[in-house]
Structure 1
């Protein structure tokens, strides 16, 4: 396609807008493509140029997910257009997405009749789309024929991600015909193959399918296990509600800060009014002036001390806030920039159909998004703690159960990095703590251990022998370790830790500060034992619940 477009640039070298439109199109700059292709359409009425401009605009709208406009542009392209097969493919995919299956089928049938060398996409994709159309139209025999053809072609490429989706579609085909004996093997193949892919969405769907299969078999224990696995992959996705809650909290926090400033100004104005009144009364009664002056002078000193103390506290809070926003904004900007760079590579991989690289980039995007999500989650909890809006209730908690619950969420991440994990937490220990804050503490400590442990490393979590008053929970890793000065810095009771030293390995310190604050609020303390290049032990000391029966 690139070569054919470049030929037309030479052919129409005087058309500046067309030259810019094709340049931005090949660079995947969709907004600029839309601008210059429209300028070209207004200027000239050559059919070939019009077809190219409508095609550029249609693809741009598709990439921006504006399918109605994309469809309008595609329908304006003449049948003599050199890439008319692509036009039919895009129209077919839009129709399939909009549940217009007969229309989609007519477009895909047109492409199927062409030789495979005549178009720019995989034949297996065309056959798969035809199979899906027949499946939705309840023409199961035809659907079976095309789905198996596409799966056979895809099996030779050994792309686990795409093949998993194909197996799910074949299973659905049989399942809708109540042919469970034929459907279930494909559900199982899809499930086992999903273990090899890094897409949480595919893993989640495969687990849910197996849960339904086992429920229909009346094997409820196994169905429950699959549903738990489904929930695990579901929990790994970003929780947008927390992001919005954080934004709302930041807004309220800013309003409160402004209100404090207004209150200070009002107090200063009251003092000035009082001084003016004292001068007014001095001309009438000198004795009253003296007594009143002394009174207001003392009030002024008192109020000024209060205002000065409030100002110092406000400056301290503002400094902490500025430092926090500086660090967090730096990390978020880094994450967004990484996503932006990765997405550019992602689009290139899509165009070149490099599905292996595409899978790696999607996994990287997921890791970046999870890191940003953890940062925002810690920021929300830190803000709630600072503004005393958290619900806090200490009670008897079974420590091993809490640890097991947190471990469940991090197991997939450790498996992906081949980090071995050992849980030796005593089943007899009960602690007196708030459940939500304890989960946040253990989650942050375990997350740090994973972050600073190299692939193929080891993480252990266990309890030490202790006295009657406190329980010692240890999270040990074989990671980078830390120097004595770093340990001392981590244990300081500062509002925030100092600026990070290494963008790749050292975080903002917000998570550790959050842990310390919550541990102290629960009546405990934090200890660290570490050696550089050997590993680290983070010891969480919590109050025991003595009256547990």
Structure 2
């Protein structure tokens, strides 16, 4: 009967080893600061970028390119070996990872993390004594070093090593130390199961069973959500289901050893139920992946078709332009011969005005396509390539993250294409423009939802406090275009860890102000006045590293004017920007 618990012990070992012992976000930020002086080195920057995004194959490729002609800079060579060794370890290429880690000098700032990696590899390969010799050095580091690694996970791994070596007192010491003051329920369940297995291996059944019961009782309190909305939630629920399955399975073996086979069967069925639930959710995600791949392909075809249509329209405009030029030449010659200079000049002026209007319409249409679809299309192209790479390597975790991101992009792009078509029709006076009473909060919430992936990617705090009782008179689709441009600009000109706020106010009688505020780069007063001017589009950029020519703001002003509204900007360089849209106000009936 103890053989069954040996299998459980191995499950515990796998769970402990698979914990994230690195606090990624803090470590990545520290590494970014360290390698700032080397931003001109392409292979170094690309290796770091893919390391932060956990694209291990790409890290290995660019690290190898750098190492083909390595510099004499030991500091940078250490980072390259660190990136490459970490990637090899994540791909389970342990022998190659060890060789890479051994090329790192002892003076490397993160050498203690290298020691931890080597210890975990020894643990995975069942070299328990070697793992202990490395991991025990990490139990008494300076406090500042624990901001990058999880001390509790190191203690847990040490407990596992000693338990597998049957040095139970030492194992008990490290297990108890690892979950001292533990508050996370999922972590606590794992710790209870570990200490229970330890006592059970020593035939101290009463204490072991008590811990198994604690783990099971805690697992029954873990709740699952009704719907999976993102990859983080899926990962959390995967852990919950694993712990529920493991706790129920442990209790089934306990009851089987106590000869209470009825209870053992019930617990075993419960464990199978949680296992089936986990498998079902995994299959749902896999099916969703296929559906989204088809959706991406279909959307790409729509984009290609729109590009072909735009090319045809451009050809038509060129033909018209050449015809107009020929007509102007003919009229000029006729005017010369018939001395109808005044009449000819009027015709030429009228033709020029027509051509200017056509060119203006063409420029606006192209500006919308480039301004609004550029980010979505590029994101879909690059994400689809990464998706195919990860599908080939069966990297399920990365696939889940990419699929969720692609779903958000595709949904946003679909609505965006529809809005762009309506806008183009409006410019050619074929669009039905309807100003009606609109609930401002619902529109802002709907538009902002499509930007959540970009906000998360840039680590921006977002807050929508528009009053739910605010109603305005506006055309819904054109108002969405205004909001998309303002939010897009706010994200573009914001630094990581900044904030973006959307809120409403009532400072102008008869109008409701909708304000999009960011903590970004801001602008000078001269630039602000140019943006508010109804003249030609801006060519000079306030910030040379930010892409943009002011086309979006011109579109915003045009749409606000169509809605009988007003537009204003408040900004200072380095202190953020407020984009203020004032729309005719209406009140809630009753």
Pairwise TM-score range, normalised by the shorter structure = 0.3 to 0.5
- Length-normalised TM-score, structure 1: 0.46
- Length-normalised TM-score, structure 2: 0.43
